[in-house]
Amino acid sequence: FKGAGFVLACLFSGIFAKPLWAQQKQSRPNIVIIISDDHALSTIGAYGAKYGASPHIDQLAKQGATFTNAFVNNSLCAPSRATLLTGKYSHVNGLRDNRDQFDASQDVFPRRLQQAGFQTAWIGKWHLKNYPQGFDYWSILPDQGQYYNPDLIGMKGDTVRKEGYCTDIITNLTVDWLDKRDKTKPFCVIIGQKAPHRPWMPDARDLRRFEQTKFALPANFYDDYKDRIAAQTQDMSIAKTMQLGYDLKMKNDPADPKSAINATKRMNPVQQRAWNAYYDSVQNDMVKQQLSGKALIEWKYQRYMKDYLATTVSLDRNIGEIMDYLDKNHLSENTIVVYTSDQGFYMGEHGWFDKRFMYEESMHAPFIVRYPKMVKPNSKVSQLVSNVDFAPTFLDLAGVSIPKEIQGKSFVKLLKNGKEKIRESVYYHYYEFPAEHSVRKHFGIRTDRYKLIRFYGKQDFWEFYDLKTDPHEMKNLYGDKSKQALITALKAKLLALTLENKDQLAEGILKKEN
């Protein structure tokens, strides 16, 4: 009997207790959401890019599902983040454009998780003009943040400058938090990376990564914007808007002799030397070529591609670091990992950079999910989802009930079977005008095949696209007589969406017209 007593004593004293990571095989999953800033699908391997800039994201896609039709409802930073947090459209969560301040006290999904016993954190770019609420820990970049030696605002409102490259620093802060967290609880961390946001400043080690690459111009690089008034009046072209100094780091920009020099002011001498050695040689080479006209525009495009992609290489490497951490700490099985971005981006399509428009490149966001227990590896999901659906999906995955005020729909069933239809269409509404890049206000509907857009403001006009026959949205078919029945049907659907989503402004515009 002595032996039995010993066994019992051991059980109670914990000698047979499982290691901490094994105890963590809790039924509730952890959630890691990596949200980058302006990551164009066209540059990601999992979405067909051939630049080799995203091996870790592509690996994540191999281990999980790649959503090929995930859309944001308002292609701008702060609105996208506000929707991610609330599961509500901009006009309901109150954040319509980057100038608005987010009411952080409103119902956000991380607070719901926190109340259900999750440890929650937001680390990195936040951009909501208010401090986060509903998080056990946060550390955020002020506003857009800086690529080199960024400041970070801590929970006491204190600002600390961290030496190094922003993308690495955000990863390090995340790993520190993961290490120190209460390991008896499930967690949800949102990692907000600044990259690859303008002005696309690469880490020194990546500066030459695409030196030898010659990028093919998109077929519609020299778009004439025929029949598309808003496209004619935008200010986001590589030809006119993109600056040699501010965007492309040339110190000899006659229009702006200061900003390329200012960009290096935050850097330490080692960073400055690496930076100047590289961009001075680029500048010398440009001067020798005496570029003008189309040759200059195409040189700008090449430089843009090189800088942008180089910042995504660091982003991708850092995603690899997070995956490594999860593996080494035996967390990969029970952690849902999501890779997304606050919206897409133009990489020269229509001659543009930036986003904002309801056209495909900017409305489309990357969305990749890995969750070995539920999601089929190496799968593609083509059903439509909107970023209003993200918050309810996370709550559902965590086993937390979805408040009825949330406007999005959980797509857990779609995660499970890869084909469940969640919605027939997605809704869009962009508000920031007049403003930088001059993209007019518009709202609209996108189904799996068609897109109907209503621009409004000083001038009101419509656009209609058949994405099957015109995937690059070059032919506005709104005036095409043969499409009138289709357009009328879509208008009715759009009106129904404005009612369902309680968008009274859009509803009023549509009703006035009839």
- SS3 at position 205: helix
The nearest distance, CB 42 to ligand SGN, in angstroms, is: 17
Please say whether the beta carbons of 140 and 125 come within 8 A: yes
Listed in sequence order, the DSSP H helices in 142-241 are 166-180, 229-233
Please say whether the beta carbons of 191 and 174 come within 8 A: yes
Q: Which of 291, 306, 194, 292 is nearest to 247 (CA)?
A: 306
Which residue in the shown chain puts its C-beta closest to Ca ion? Answer: 77
Task: Return the one option of Ca ion, ligand SGN, none that residue 241 interacts with (CB less than 5 to 8 A, by type).
Answer: none
> Which residue stretch of 1-9, 92-100, 298-306, 334-342 sits at the interface with Ca ion (rule: CB under 5 A)?
334-342
Q: State how far the Cα of 344 lies from the Cα of 134, in Å rounded to an integer.
A: 27
User: Quick one: which H or E segment has residue 392?
Assistant: helix 390-397
> Which residue stretch of 45-53, 107-115, 252-260, 341-349 sits at the interface with Ca ion (rule: CB under 5 A)?
341-349
Closer residue to ligand SGN (CB): 144 or 146: 144
Task: Return the one option of ligand SGN, Ca ion, none that residue 98 interacts with (CB less than 5 to 8 A, by type).
Answer: ligand SGN
What is the torsional sign of CA 497, 503, 508, 509? negative
Closer residue to ligand SGN (CB): 98 or 393: 98
Task: Return the one option of ligand SGN, Ca ion, none that residue 354 interacts with (CB less than 5 to 8 A, by type).
Answer: ligand SGN
List of residues 6+ apart from 102 with CB closer than 8 A: 78, 81, 82, 85, 93, 94, 95, 128, 129, 130
* Interface residues toward ligand SGN, by CB under 6 A: 37-38, 76-77, 98, 127, 144, 197-199, 354, 436-437
> Which residue stretch of 32-40, 116-124, 247-255, 282-290 sits at the interface with Ca ion (rule: CB under 5 A)?
32-40
Q: State how far the Cα of 84 lies from the Cα of 475, in Å rounded to an integer.
A: 32
Listed in sequence order, the DSSP H helices in 447-483 are none
The nearest distance, CB 133 to ligand SGN, in angstroms, is: 21
Task: Return the one option of Ca ion, ligand SGN, none that residue 437 interacts with (CB less than 5 to 8 A, by type).
Answer: ligand SGN
Q: Which of 506, 370, 509 is nearest to 89 (CA)?
A: 506
The nearest distance, CB 192 to Ca ion, in angstroms, is: 10
Closer residue to Ca ion (CB): 342 or 389: 342
Taking CB under 5 A as the criterion, the residue among 29, 32, 35, 38 binding Ca ion is 38
Closer residue to ligand SGN (CB): 256 or 396: 256
Please say whether the beta carbons of 57 and 316 come within 8 A: yes
By CB under 5 A, what part of segment 69-108 binds Ca ion? 77
Residue 354 binds Ca ion, judged by CB under 5 A: no
Which residue in the shown chain puts its C-beta closest to ligand SGN? Answer: 77
Please say whether the beta carbons of 329 and 24 come within 8 A: no
The nearest distance, CB 313 to ligand SGN, in angstroms, is: 20
Residue numbers at the binding site for Ca ion (CB under 5 A)? 37-38, 77, 342
